[in-house]
Amino acid sequence: MMNGGDTELVQIMDAALADATERGGKWLACKPGCAQCCQGVFAISQLDAERLRAGLQVADAAVAGRMRARVVEQVALLSVAFPGDVASGVVCAEDEAFEDFANDELCPVLDPVTQTCDLYAARPMTCRTFGPPVRSEGGGLSVCELCFVGASTETLAKCELVADEEFRGVEAELIAAAEARAGVRGETIVAFALRSA
């Protein structure tokens, strides 16, 4: 189960995504079965990890069993060259090694047959932002290579997914609280987040 603050945070992000999706319309290639954004590992917060573990706990037993098997397999594979602390699962996302780490690995909660997320309702915030253009740390707009093909800069700007500063502040507070509950500070990846669930 998500805590109250996280539930509100997810609702805010999902509303922002729905708004950006509506504005993006025909430019968005996202649909069930498209798993472009599910390939390659990426850093997630301890709040995302907590939400994923809660989602796994309430998942259908057979589906959860298949996900756990994929998690075990992926943890074993990724532990060899993991750019971080294998014991805690904390990744060094700023490390250059992370940029090229496991770019071909599919997310372990992706159903390999249907190419859909088995923990969609509990997915990390990063997953909730795929599709519409998102402002990068450098200030430019990042967009999936399958979406907005041929769109103008003006179109991208009109369809941008916007999470305001208040959202970011609340998210930071909730992440700090999740880190305190977990006794772990720093980001992880999906497989390491779920290995103990």
Per-residue pLDDT at 168 exceeds 70: yes
Quick one: pLDDT at residue 158?
A: 92
The CA-CA-CA angle for residues 139, 141, 147, to 5°, reads: 170
Statement: residue 166 has pLDDT above 80? no
- Predicted local distance difference test score (pLDDT) of residue 2: 61
pLDDT, one tens digit per residue, over 45-63 is 999 999 999 999 999 999 9
- C-beta of residue 59 within 8 angstroms of C-beta of residue 121: no
pLDDT at 1 over 70: no
Q: What's the predicted TM-score (pTM) here? A: 0.91
Considering Cα of 102, then 93, then 74, then 105, what sign does the dihedral take? negative
Cβ-contact 20, 132 below 8 angstroms: yes
Instruction: Enumerate the domain spans of the chain.
Output: 4-194
Cα angle vertex 91, ends 190, 80, to 5°? 85
**Residue range 56-71: average pLDDT?**
97
